[in-house]
Amino acid sequence: MPLPIPDHAKNFVDEKIWGKRINPTEEANTSQVNTQILYLQTGYKIYDECDYILFDAITEDFRGWTEEIFNLATTDVNRRFRDFLRINSVYVPMTGGAIAARLAETVNLEEMPNWPDEDLAKQKKKGVMNSRFDETSPKHAEFYQLKAEAPRAGHSR
């Protein structure tokens, strides 16, 4: 059963293909690309994915997507997806260039990119990140609590 369509997404998606995989290389259109991005983003949000888990998911789900494919999406959908990734600790550069190009670069990386210190500081100033990298985030406390509780090699509890 597909995930529910969020209210904010209803004007951007094709309900007939919501929850279905598309092959964006075969004559995709704006509605199809928007639907795919928003469906996957909805899942990431529902399952509270961030950091490396989110990066692994996007590189699997969007493998092979090019700038041309992301350009088919509306600017609003691309912008919200980029911002979602950044809030959830996946670094997507904000260089003033095309968002589609930055998204395509990010989803086709082999390893999760490191945040430049200046960009990380700017992102934190915008609000809490859902990330172990932001000391004010519940994810940070959760990650370091689990790490502290994990038994160390050679030690038993």
Contacts of 111 (CB under 8 A, 6+ apart): none
Residue 37, domain extent: 7-130
**pLDDT per position in the chain (157 positions), as tens?**
789 999 999 999 999 999 999 888 778 899 999 999 999 999 999 999 999 999 999 999 999 999 999 999 999 999 999 999 999 999 999 987 899 999 999 999 999 999 999 998 888 888 768 877 666 766 666 666 665 666 655 545 4
CA distances from 88 to 30, 101, 120, 124, 134 (A): 25, 19, 12, 11, 10
Residue 73 lies in a domain: yes
Q: How many whole angstroms separate alpha carbon 92 and alpha carbon 84?
A: 10
pTM strictly above 0.95 = no
Residue 137 lies in a domain: no
Residue 89 lies in a domain: yes
Residue 65 lies in a domain: yes
The answer to whether the CB of 40 falls within 8 A of the CB of 2 is: no
**What's the structural domain count of the chain?**
1
